[in-house]
Every structure is written in structure tokens, then in C-alpha cells.
Amino acid sequence: MNSKIKAKKNFNSNTLLLVITIVLFCVLYAGGCIAYGSRGFTHFQTFLNILITNAGLICVACGMTCVMLTGGIDISVGALIAMDCMMLAVGMSKGIGAVPMVLLVLLVGVVFGIFQGFLVGYLEIQPFIVSMAGMFFCRGMTAVICTDQVSITEKVNATFYKWANSKITIPFGGYTNNKGKYMVPYVRPGVVVALLVLVVIFIMLRYTKFGRSLYAVGGSAQSAAMMGLNVKRIKMGAYMLSSILCSIGGVCYCLNTMAGSVTQALGLEMDAISSAVIGGTLLTGGVGNVIGSFFGVLINGTISSIVKTNGKLASSWPNILTAALLFIFIVIQSIFAAIRARRK
Amino acid sequence: MKAWNKIKNWPLLLPVLALILVMAVNIIHDAATGVNPMSFFAVSLRDTTTNGTILYGRIIDIINRGSEVAILAIGMTLVVSASAGTDISVGSVMSLCASFMCMNLAGYGVSSTTTLAKPLIVGLLAAVLMGVVCGAFNGTLVAHLSIQPMVATLILYSAARAIGLLLCNDLIVYVRNPSFAFIGAFCGPIPTPIIITIVCIIIVSIVLRKTALGMYIQSVGINAKASRIAGLNSKLLIFLAYMLCGIFAAIAGIVASSRITSADSNNIGLYLEMDAILSVALGGNSLGGGKFNLAGSIIGAYTIQAITTTLYALGVSSIQAPVYKAIIVIIIVVIEAPPFKAFIRRFNAQRAAKGVKA
């Protein structure tokens, strides 16, 4: 009985964080609509554009959420995406087909994830140090593959180019532009992939054994081990999942940028972490939800969209605002944690 | 056997071994390419048009270029020891402090100047003040709100560079003034950064030796709760460690900025947090907090710089160098990981048992 009440209380404060996030997104978006309504912010396409530009980030944030649920962190994601894009670009310009290249990138993600997961799970090295080394390794490896910017044009690979430029139209929410032409809203294939990943991970976390054991390990690794869970293997699984999702995200990201360069996706790990934290994932592990992370990504996207629409603000503002939001949410989390500790 | 055990337990074994290894690679490379193998150690006096007579040589270059990492490593050692976490914002804070200083020296919005808008000392104090503020921010989050150090410092890691850009009005601010350039250039024949580093090291080691601060920080790192019960103000000590780290980041920022007589927000201190953490780990300090060895960290810092210089000498470009550093980090942390040590012990025991049977 007592545990039931406790579970309910936990549930409440955690849903509260999620609600705050969703409300914040609505307020930000509404604010953007009011301030920049005349510049097309109210169009449905603006929202879809946020999804299109952040398709890769959604995949990465899902993986980051899984890792953070176990109480770890993976800061190698941004560099891994840069390496993925560079591999895709260089591989295709060498004449390898789009499908084998994508499969190769996913395979690299799996191997990289297994390696990181082994170091964290089995050798018990701090996740931060491991993924930091992973980050430097990937960033350096990108430069080893090629130091120049390599772009993917139609000549390089027609299939990949077709994927990147195909539009999936949506039958509602269109508008007539000032030339009198009706604009049909559309998304890119990357968005479909990202939303699919989101749904799959949501179901996995909620209904499968592996998903639930992620929560158990993050809540208390010791209790999870006593319950008979293989904590080491689950931790390794989390990092592997993160790297695979990151590679999927890398392909989505590459579909947007159509290029590989060393400085690509610089600081993306920060965006992913802040999205997850803003979405209510606790840094100490055990609490979190991919839906929250999804809204976290949307908030980040809305901020940069507003700054872009304004046009006069310095380019460093999105960074500062995201960091400020991260700061606020971390403080809220620690206050909640303090209240919970006092109740006990 | 006894001597062997003594060497085995020597705390500086790892950094010194790594340093010797790097030197060996240099000597072999020199010998292989037909240069005098001992040219690595050669130090000579050379006349230059800009700086007069200066010390010249690869060793001098490594010690000079390694100044920033060595200064950062001092602060990082204290942070790692006290809070069992690392401050990943040091590189960005360096950049922010440099931007703030150059903004003060040049005046807001000015992109290039040869005359100082304010006295040099005001600029230097502004940089240190900014370091103190950043350190206090990190320290408050870690000590008083008990947030994991890496996550708390992640905020400034991403924000500090952006704020620096904002202060500089999105420009690279050049301060081409001889009195400012002096900090990154030469004091007589010796590079000034070396002198600054030595002064920092001496001050810190005197403070740690003559007061109980070092011991307090270690005891907080070993067990914060027990230290608090024993009467130490754990929170204040952790806060202090972060603040010191911020100050050292500011000093490193001043040196780095003066070297290029400008505040390049995007590039000052880039990836240096990695080097600083790496020097602490290489110095034989546990990243899990507790006991620290300052000398180890500083030798570690110069070893890192020696590795970087060697990589450049071997023809690796600066953007490819992180690959090798990452591999070195992984090797070091794997060697120090408790499960790996246990595995080796078991392996040795098994071999010994087999030896007895045979």
C-alpha cells in the first residue's frame, strides 16, 4: 500500500515536469506566432520545418534518454553524427551505393556502441570519460577520413539525392502565399524515420522487458542486480541503442545537410542532453520519457526558429537561451529531489 | 625485489613512464629521418628581430606551449579531488575570460586597436573576476544544489563561448599592444608563460603545504559526509575548489589570448578541457576523487603537450590529433579500472598456481 502511494507521488512530480515542458513549448510557440505572425510564423509549415531540421536530433534525443535513464550520459553523439555524415559523403563519392553505405553507417554505430557500452558496463569506467574519449575519437576520425568538406550532389549519388529531396505532402494545413499560389505543407523522409523511432522507443520503454529494466537499473543498480537483472548487459545495451539511434539520426542529419565536414554537428550532444533534461529526464537516472525529450527538441527548435525569424539577434543567442533553459530545469529537478528526500 | 616494489608503488610512475615513452618516440623518429637523435633535447640561444635573444629548442617549445594545460591542470586536480567530477567548462571559460578582457582593453565594439582603452591591470582583473564568477556559478550548482559536476559545468561549456561572442559583438577583437603582448611573449630570453606557470605552481604548492587546505579538499573528496561530521564545511570546500578552477582558467585564458594578441572566442581553449582532464588522469590521480598528486598532474600536462608536439612532428594534422589522444585516454582509464585490475590479479594468481604445479 505504502509503495503504491509513493509510486503515485513520484508519478505526480514527474508528470508535472512533463506538463511544464509542454506548456513552455505552447507558450514559446504562441509567443513566436504573436510576435512574428506577419513573417509566416503561424503557418503549419513553420512547425513542420522545425521537425525537418531537427529530425536527426529527435533520434539522438531518444537514444540519449535511454542512456540517461540508466544514470549515464553519452556525449559522443555529435561527433558520431559528423563521422557518419563524412562516411556517407566520402563513401558515395567513391561510388558505393546509398543503401550499402547507410547499412555500413548503422553497423559502425553498433560496433561503436558495443565498445562504449563494454567500457561503461563491464569495466565500470565513468560514462562521461568514456563518451568524451569517444567524442574525440569520432571527431578526429572524421578528419582522418577527409579534412575537406565533401558534399553529396545529384551526380554523386542519385538515390540519396532523391531521398533527400522527396516531399511527403500533408493533405491539410496549407496556405496561399502572397503570389496567390497554394502551398501544400510537406515533410521530408527524415521526419517519418524520426517519428517512427520515437514511437518504437516509446513502446519499447513502456512495454518490453529491456525498456523496463533500463528504468530499474537507473533507479538503483544494486536493487536491480538483486532482483536478478544483468545490470552490466543492460547498461551495455543502453549505450549500444544510443549509438544505433545516433547513426540513424546521422543519416537523417545527412539528408538535411547533404555534406560531410569535420565541424558538422558541433555541440549537438549538448542539444540532445538539454532536450532530454528539459523533457523531464532525471540526470540521476530512473525517471524519464521520450515524449518529454521530443518536446524538449521542439522547444530548442522553436527558440532557434524565433531567433532566425527575427534576423537581427546575434547567432549566439540560441546557445545562450538553451543553456539558460537547461540551467532552470536542472535547478527545478534538484529542488524536486531535495523535497523528495525531505519527505522520506 | 624491494626496489622493484618501491618503483611499482611510486605515484609518479605512470606520468614519468609516459614522458619517457614520448621522448623515445621522438629520438627514434629523429634517428630514422637522419636528424641528430639528441636534437630533441638541444637548447640554444637565438637572435630574433622581434624578441631579441631567446631560448630556442623543442623542449622549450613544449614547456612554453604546455603552459595553459599545466595551469588548467592545477585547478582541475583540485576539482577532481574535491568533487569526484570534472569541470568540463574550463576551455569555454578561458575563452569567455579572454573575450571579456579584450573587450575591456579595446572598448566595446572595437575590433582592432593598438592603444589600450583602459590600463592593462583593469583588463587582467576583469578576466580574473570573470573566472571567479564562472567558478562560483559552477561551484554553487555542484556544492549547494548537489548536481553532478559534469552536468552542472555542461551549462557553461556551451554558454560561455556564446556569451564571449556576444561581448565581442561577434568579432575577433585584436589588441596589438606591446604591454599586453608581453604576457604571451618573452621576458628576457625566457618565454613569459613559463614564468607565469611556475609562479602559479609555487603559490599553490606553498598554500597546500603551509595550510591544511589540501588535506581538507582530499578528505571531502574521500567522504564528504564523514568530513562534514568531523567538522569540515564540505560545501564551502567544494565551492572553493571550483572557484580556484575558474581563476586558473582565467589565467590560462589571459596567456592564450596574449599569445595571439586577440580574443578569438571560437578557438581559444578549444578541446583544452580534454587535455586538462587527461593530464589529471595521466598524473596518476583517480578520477573518482580523494587523494591527489599535484606534481603528477603537472608532469601529465607537459606529457600531453609533448604528445601533441610529437604528433605534429610525425605529420598528424591538428584536427586528426584527437584520435590518438582518445586512444591514450581509453588505455589509461582501462588500466586504472577496478574490474580490469581484478582481472589481472586473477590472471597472475592463476599463472602462479600453474607455476607451482609445474
pLDDT tens digits, B220-267: 999 888 999 999 999 999 999 999 999 999 999 999 999 999 888 888
Alpha carbon distance B201, A232 (integer Å): 42
Number of domains observed in the structure of chain B = 2
Contacts of A128 in chain B (CB under 8 A): 86, 150
Q: Is A334 on the interface with B (CB under 8 A)?
A: yes
pLDDT for residue A7 is more than 90: no
CA A225 to chain CA centroid, Å, is: 29
- Quote the crossing angle between the two packed helices B234-259 and B120-139, to the nearest 10°: 140
Q: Is A328 on the interface with B (CB under 8 A)?
A: no
Long-range (24+ apart) CB contacts under 8 A made by A227-234 are A231/A121, A232/A121, A232/A122, A233/A121, A234/A70, A234/A121, A234/A210
Contacts of A73 in chain B (CB under 8 A): 150-151
pLDDT for residue A266 is more than 90: no
Give the residues of chain B that fall short of pLDDT 70: 1, 357-358
- Whether residue B176 sits in one domain with residue B237: yes
- Whether residue B132 sits in one domain with residue B62: yes
CA A207 to chain CA centroid, Å, is: 21
Cell 598456481 belongs to which residue?
A: B353
Averaging pLDDT over each range in A182-186, A280-284, B46-50, B294-298, which range is the top one? B294-298
- Whether residue B326 sits in one domain with residue B223: no
CA distance A257 to chain B (A): 21
- Does the residue B162 lie in any domain? yes
Q: Is A331 on the interface with B (CB under 8 A)?
A: yes
Q: Is A232 on the interface with B (CB under 8 A)?
A: no
CA B13-B17-B20 angle, to 5 degrees, is 145
- Whether residue B310 sits in one domain with residue B330: no
Closest partner residue to A123 (CB to CB) among B166, B287, B334 is B334
- Does the residue B5 lie in any domain? no
- Quick one: what percent of chain A has pLDDT higher than 90? 43
Would you say the C-alpha torsion A32, A33, A37, A39 has a positive or negative sign? positive
Residue whose C-alpha is closest to residue B217's, from B245, B246, B253, B248: B245
Residue B191's beta-bridge partner residues? B186
| Lowest-pLDDT choice from A45-54, A309-318, B113-122, B166-175 | A309-318
CB pairs under 8 A between A and B: 127
Among B residues 175-204, those touching chain A with beta carbons less than 8 Å apart:
none
Long-range (24+ apart) CB contacts under 8 A made by A27-33 are A28/A299, A28/A302, A28/A303, A28/A306, A29/A302, A31/A306, A32/A302, A32/A305, A32/A306, A32/A309
pLDDT for residue A6 is more than 60: no
In angstroms, what CA-CA distances link B247 with A280, B128, B129, B135, B356? 33, 6, 8, 7, 57
Q: Is B271 on the interface with A (CB under 8 A)?
A: yes
Domain with B76 in it: what CATH number? 1.10.3470.10
Averaging pLDDT over each range in A151-160, A247-256, A307-316, which range is the top one? A247-256
- Whether residue B297 sits in one domain with residue B175: yes
Instruction: Classify residue B1 by its DSSP letter.
Output: -
- Does the residue B46 lie in any domain? no
Contacts of B339 in chain A (CB under 8 A): 122-124
Question: Tell me: the pLDDT tens digits for A29-42?
Answer: 998 888 887 777 88
Is residue A9 very low, low, confident or very high in pLDDT (cuts 50, 70, 90)?
low
- Does the residue B11 lie in any domain? no
Phi, psi dihedrals of residue A266, rounded to the nearest 5°: -70, 125
What pLDDT was estimated at residue A5? Answer: 53
- Does the residue B49 lie in any domain? no
- Does the residue B114 lie in any domain? yes
Considering the entire predicted model, what is its pTM?
0.86
* Identity at B143, one-letter amino acid code: A
| Lowest-pLDDT choice from A48-62, A250-264, B343-357 | B343-357
Among B residues 277-296, those touching chain A with beta carbons less than 8 Å apart:
277, 281, 287-288
Residues 6+ apart with CB under 8 A from B17: none
Plot region of B174 (φ>0 → left; ψ -120 to 50 → alpha; else → beta):
beta
Contacts of A334 in chain B (CB under 8 A): 145-147
- Whether residue B257 sits in one domain with residue B143: yes
Q: Is B152 on the interface with A (CB under 8 A)?
A: yes
- DSSP-derived secondary structure for A35-46: HHGGGTTTSHHH
- Does the residue B41 lie in any domain? no
Pairing between strand B186-187 and A182-183? unpaired
Is residue A8 very low, low, confident or very high in pLDDT (cuts 50, 70, 90)?
low
Question: Tell me: the pLDDT tens digits for A122-176?
Answer: 998 888 889 888 998 999 999 999 888 888 888 888 888 888 888 888 887 777 7
Mean pLDDT of chain B: 88
Contacts of B159 in chain A (CB under 8 A): 319-320, 323-324
8 Å CB contact of A334 and B147: yes
**Residue B72, SS3?**
helix
Is residue A12 very low, low, confident or very high in pLDDT (cuts 50, 70, 90)?
low
Interface mutation vs chain B, best among A112, A119, A128, most B CBs within 10 Å: A128
The arithmetic mean of pLDDT across residues A236-258, rounded, is: 94
- Does the residue B168 lie in any domain? yes
Alpha carbon distance A74, B105 (integer Å): 39
- Whether residue B332 sits in one domain with residue B243: no
Cβ pair A124, A82 in contact under 8 A: no
Alpha carbon distance A263, A278 (integer Å): 26
CA distance A173 to chain B (A): 36
- Whether residue B138 sits in one domain with residue B85: yes
What pLDDT was estimated at residue A208? Answer: 93
| Cβ atoms within 10 Å of B328's Cβ, excluding its own | 18
Residue whose C-alpha is closest to residue A60's, from A163, A186, A201, A181: A201
8 Å CB contact of B322 and A139: yes
Among B residues 310-329, those touching chain A with beta carbons less than 8 Å apart:
317, 319-327, 329
pLDDT for residue A3 is more than 60: no
CA distance A96 to chain B (A): 25
Task: For residue B327, give its domain range.
Answer: 322-358
| Cβ atoms within 10 Å of B33's Cβ, excluding its own | 9
Residue whose C-alpha is closest to residue B264's, from B155, B129, B170: B170
- Whether residue B337 sits in one domain with residue B302: no
8 Å CB contact of A314 and B170: yes
- Whether residue B296 sits in one domain with residue B342: no
- Whether residue B178 sits in one domain with residue B241: yes
Residue whose C-alpha is closest to residue A306's, from A31, A25, A21, A22: A31
- Whether residue B265 sits in one domain with residue B356: no
- Closest residue of B to A118, CA-based? B334
> Using only C-alpha atoms, what is the Rg of chain A?
21
Q: Is A341 on the interface with B (CB under 8 A)?
A: no
Alpha carbon distance B1, B14 (integer Å): 19
Is residue A1 very low, low, confident or very high in pLDDT (cuts 50, 70, 90)?
very low
Which domains, ranges and CATH numbers included, belong to chain A? 13-343 (1.10.3470)
Closest partner residue to B329 (CB to CB) among A123, A133, A273 is A133
Q: Is B343 on the interface with A (CB under 8 A)?
A: no
**Residue B85, SS3?**
coil
Is residue A205 very low, low, confident or very high in pLDDT (cuts 50, 70, 90)?
very high
Cβ pair B303, B327 in contact under 8 A: no
8 Å CB contact of A334 and B146: yes
